[in-house]
Amino acid sequence: MKRKIRMGMVGGGQGSFIGAVHRIAANLDGQIELVCGCFSSRPENSLATGQSLFLPDNRIYASYQEMIEKEATLPEGERMDFVSIVTPNHVHFGPAMMALEHGFHVLLNKPKDCVTTSDDPQGRLTVMDIVRNACTERIYPVGRLDRNTTGVLLLTNDGDLASKLTHPKFIKKKIYHVWTDKDVSEEDMQRIADGIELEDGPIHADAVSYATDTDKNQVGIEIHSGRNRIVRRIFEALGYRVTKLDRVYFAGLTKKNLPRGRWRYLTQQEVTMLQMGSFE
DSSP assignment of the chain, as one string? -PPPEEEEEEE--TT-HHHHHHHHHHHTTS-EEEEEEE--SSHHHHHHHHHHTT--GGGB-SSHHHHHHHHTTSPTTTS-SEEEEES-GGGSHHHHHHHHHT--EEEEEEPSS-BSSS--TT---BHHHHTTTS-SS--EESS---TTEEEEEEEES-HHHHHHHHSGGG---EEEEEEESSPPPHHHHHHHHH-EEETTEEE--SEEEESSSS-TTEEEEEE----TTHHHHHHHHTT--EEEEEEEEETTEE-TT--TT-EEEPPHHHHHHHHHT---
Q: Strand pairing of 105-110 and 263-265? A: antiparallel
Has 129 been annotated as catalytic? Answer: no
| More confidently predicted of 230 and 162 | 230
Tell me the whole-structure pTM to 2 decimals.
0.68
What are the tens digits of pLDDT across the range 231-261?
A: 999 999 999 999 999 999 998 999 999 999 9
Query: pLDDT > 90: what percent of the chain?
Result: 46
Angle at 73 between CA 69 and CA 78, to 5 degrees: 110
Determine which one of 57, 119, 146, 183 is catalytic. 146
What are the tens digits of pLDDT across the range 89-145?
A: 666 667 766 666 666 788 999 999 999 987 888 889 999 889 887 776 778 898 889
Q: What is the mean pLDDT of the chain?
A: 87
CB of 193 closer than 8 Å to CB of 208: yes
Q: How far apart are CA 133 and CA 2, in angstroms?
A: 10
Q: How far apart are CA 279 and CA 42, in angstroms?
A: 38
pLDDT at residue 1 greater than cutoff 60: no
